[in-house]
Amino acid sequence: MCRNIRPLFNFAPPATDEEIAAAALQYVRKVSGTTRPSKENEAAFAAAVEQVAAVTRGLVRDGLTTRATPRTREELVRQARARGQQRELRIVKKALASGLPQG
């Protein structure tokens, strides 16, 4: 999955239409292999984004249920930063173990 697409389900406050549209756009860009369609393909591209957004909206707002406590966006940011720090530590340890100069 594209790293730029974020989870949208089970948030407080719920995912906005803008977040859903942005995720749909990223998805269509990924599967089409283009970030900007040609003039000839603009209508199909826009229609695909709207269809994906509509399906996603229905899924995250009405289709899924959970008993889990809603997450916050700040919580996900903290988790992502912690993963980044762990990844950086692994890279540094690997560099030190291989004898590469630091700089």
User: 64-79, pLDDT tens digit by residue?
Assistant: 999 999 999 899 889 9
* 33 to 25, 28, 36, 47, 76: CA distances (angstroms): 12, 8, 9, 16, 28
* Residue ranges of domains in the chain: 1-71, 72-103
Q: Are 20 and 60 in contact (CB under 8 A)?
A: yes
pLDDT of residue 1: 46
Q: Which of 56, 48, 55 is nearest to 28 (CA)?
A: 48
Mean pLDDT for 30-52 is 95
Q: Are 56 and 26 in contact (CB under 8 A)?
A: no
pLDDT at 43 > cutoff 90: yes
The token duo for 16 is 């906005």
Reported pTM: 0.73
